Amino acid sequence: MTSTEARQRIDALSKELEDHNYSYYVLSNPTISDYEFDMMLKELEKLEEEFPELAHVNSPTKRVGGDITKKFAEVVHDYPMMSLSNTYSKEEIEDFESRVRKLADGELEYVCELKYDGVAIGIKYVNGELVRAATRGDGVKGEDISTNVKTIRTIPMYVRGEGYPEEFEIRGEIFFPLKHFNALNAQRETEGEALFANPRNTASGTLKMQDSSVVASRNLDCYLYGVYSPQRVADNHFNSVQNAGSWGFKIPKREDNMIRLCKSIDEIMEFINYWEEKRHTLDFEIDGVVIKVNNYLQQEELGYTAKSPRWAIAYKYKAAEVTTRLENITYQVGRTGAITPVANLKPVLLAGTTVKRASLHNADQIAKLDLREGDEVYVEKGGEIIPKVTAVDLDKRPADSQPFVYATHCPECNTELIRLEGEALHYCPNENGCPPQIKGKMEHFISRKAMDIEGLGSETIEQLHEAGLIRTPADIYDLTADQLLPLERMAEKSVENMLKGIEDSKQVPFERVLFALGIRYVGETVAKKLVRALHTIEALMAADQEALVALDEIGDRIAQSVLEYFSVETNREMVLKLKEAGLQFEIPAEQLEGQTQKLAGQSFVISGVFTNHSRDELKQLIEQNGGKNTGSISAKTNFLLAGENMGPSKRQKAEKLGVEIISESRFEEMIA
């Protein structure tokens, strides 16, 4: 066979096998026998062995696995993979719907979907071909598990049909079908191996296996339901999902009641209640229902918090509950000095995992439940993930039971605890002398969303602290190879990598450096706000309460925390030392180009569709020129920036409150 003939046959076999694969696994309508399929696949495998240069990157032979991945590469998501806020009652759904009505114009429609208990995945296609599949990770960065995802037969290697964007990402959930999970555990039991705890954790572990042939053998499955692309594929989420189905993706089917359009709380609750009763008939696990605002323009109008979209929420079904004995209560000290009481329990099996500990949150929670050591307590998993104590079985309380007395001194450094007015937690004020706080601050400093120092982890921080080499984050930048090499488990290559990671971190932008300092209440979003408003660490350290509160979304509590942090001389000294080490403590001049104060003191609400800019671009222009974006109209709003298709309720409210309504062209004149 010539190379040209081989290419033609490989192309023909690849297409035909993908067509049969789609018919069998997605449509559940096989068009040939298993034997015929296997014979075609073997012919393709033989041709690819003879002509390896002609094999397709996404050949159907990849479905059976065999490739070995030693290390999964880290990738940055084109669109952040955010998590959803959880709710557990009809009242909380009503609160969500009420918030949405206040912020979004026009008639509202919701899409209800199943909340699959699996592993979130984002799969990128370019020119109709699968190019990458990544885990959620921290939402910003994930791991490239493309080789393993290609073994899942319901995920197409190539997009079918027409109308799909040139480049897009589709998201969904990979899960372990119960029949395959139970069969795997039955096999392990026969072979005398430990059983896997639950399908979700097993699916997650399977996707991180190095040998893709093992992944293929486990028959994972996937539902896909979210399309992200620079080119909009529909006006709303529901139609976007239907379009994805026409492109060959396995989507939740309307005819199976796995996705439904709802216009009222009653319709939403009907869907929730239906699946609470029927979920055990499915061949995969779900732990709730997801409710999303359907219209994309309304989604844009509602926007996002730092962690989740305002236009979606997850309703979680009540978790399984067990009883066990509360052996004793101990305490954990966090990096901010917050004291968290922990229930140490007699080990008990709950929702597939053995539970030994549970957070008790604070002293008020212990008092509310009247918890006592030795009690028989009810334990459930909040969201079926985090164990929590919910009640005491008073009928089984020992006769000699004594009320629990909360700690008055830090369990680590014996400093007297404080509790500020209005705060739920007790705190250890010994910020620079309490070991867990010292180590916790350094662990936060090196974490991925902060300085992200390659080669440094929590265990290494512990080791370096115990060796007396570091006591503050600034000490990290004084480390030398001579200090590190004599330490246990410190080989020359690992020391070289660590020192390179420390040096590379000096290029981390100011906003992440500020977040890394660990100032209470200054998370990622607040750090960005402060940096973009004040530009330098000197300006931030010099700002008073009034100046800070005047900034966008900075309230009294955040301002007070910032002032308290910089009022401590040791903190100021550490910041100075970090700056001298070469860390970024100001915005580069090129990033400040185009910034003005033309809109200083002015607040804007954006609504509708615009000709020259997207809504996100308009928000950036407002902030770039010193203005403030707000989500809803109030008496403090200065301008309503109105585009086409703006809902009548926003206009009416603006007119009633005397808020000036301006067009896109008028706004452009204001910042010209």
Give the residue numbers annotated as catalytic, written as ranges. 115
Q: Are 403 and 436 in contact (CB under 8 A)?
A: no
Residue tagged 């120092």 (tokens):
453
Sequence-separated (6 or more) residues with CB below 8 Å from residue 530 = 511, 514, 522, 540, 551, 554, 562
For 9-20, the DSSP string reads HHHHHHHHHHHH
Q: Are 527 and 495 in contact (CB under 8 A)?
A: no
Phi, psi (deg, nearest 5) at residue 113: -135, 165
d(CA 442, CA 516): 9
Q: For the chain, how big is the Rg over CA atoms in Å?
A: 28
d(CA 109, CA 259): 13
**Could you tell me which residues are beta bridge partners of residue 353?**
350
d(CA 470, CA 446): 13
d(CA 251, CA 177): 16
Burial class (CB in 10 A: 0-12, 13-18, 19+), 507: exposed
Q: What type of residue sits at position 287?
A: D
Nearest to 77 by CA among 159, 134, 151, 4: 134
364 C-beta neighbours (distance < 10 Å), count: 12
End-to-end CA distance of the chain: 68
